[in-house]
Homo-oligomer: A and B are copies of this chain.
Amino acid sequence: MKKAKRTLKWQRDPEGMRIRILEAAKKEFAAHGLAGGRVDRIAAEAGANKRMLYYHVGNKEDLYLAVLEAAYEKIRVEERSLDLEHLAPSEAIARLIDFTWNYFIRNPEFLALLNTENVAKARNLKRSTKVKSMHSPFVEMIGTVVDRGVESGEFRVAMDPVQLYISIAGLCFFYLSNSATLSFVFGRDLLKKEAKTERLEHVIALVLAALTGRSPVTFMQAPELPAPHLV
């Protein structure tokens, strides 16, 4: 009977509150963009008073930037945990594609946030010194893998790592990010399980065929992957 007086109206939890706010803000901005996002909805979703957003993070723009920064932070962390060193070049590329694909699937908000930010010409992101310093390890990883592949003769040509990275990301990103309009236009659900499986196989087959020059089994059925999904 020492602590609980009786029915406290609320309890303190600064860290928890901040996390809940950012999580709610991520959902909101991903679903509606910066302009379409509603501060009141974020507060409600976070189970907080609106004032809390300003107290713990800042105004709407600050909130949005904090979300964006956290999103970049998160993907960079996961990227770093991907170990391609001990894999054969083709395996490494397949693994990289598999990771990218599944990261996007697991984090649809990330795609939406990037879209929003690009419509805004990265206006907000440019204010972030934090993100600027977060370099993706992928470019270097890809460079190493490609070099190894060329040296061993497994790959026919040296490809610019940045171009390859953008290509891999693009092949995954576009399909998922634009699945709503594409599904509508093609009249078929691109997000159903079989469609997604097929797409991943296509992307891997396409990139590996270009790199190795060897014909993959077929572009419909790519070679099965060793232990994909989580890194």
Residues of A within 8 A of B (CB): 30-36, 112, 114-122, 125-126, 131-132, 134-136, 139, 156-160, 162-163, 166-167, 169-171, 173-175, 177-187, 198-199, 202-203, 205-207, 209-210, 213-216, 218-220
Contacts and interface: CB of A to CB of B under 8 A. Distances in A.
Given A36-B35, A163-B199, A181 B219 contact: no
List 4 A-B pairs, minimum CB-CB distance, nearest first: A170-B174, A35-B36, A122-B180, A209-B210
Is the contact region of chain A dominated by helix, strand, or loop, or is it mixed?
Answer: helix
Contact of A175 (B114, B131, B166, B206): B166
Given A35-B35, A171-B167, A118 B159 contact: no
Chain copies in complex: 2
Contacts of A160: 198, 202, 219-220
B125 A119 contact: no
A136 B185 contact: yes
A12 to B, nearest CB: 35
Nearest to A206: B210
17 contacts: A32-B119, A112-B119, A115-B118, A116-B119, A120-B180, A122-B184, A125-B181, A160-B198, A163-B198, A163-B199, A167-B171, A171-B171, A173-B174, A173-B178, A206-B207, A209-B210, A210-B210
A211 B29 CA distance: 40
Interface centre among A36, A126, A207 (most CB of B within 10 A): A36
A198 B162 CA distance: 11
A179 B170 CA distance: 11
Contact of A162 (B115, B157, B163, B186): B186
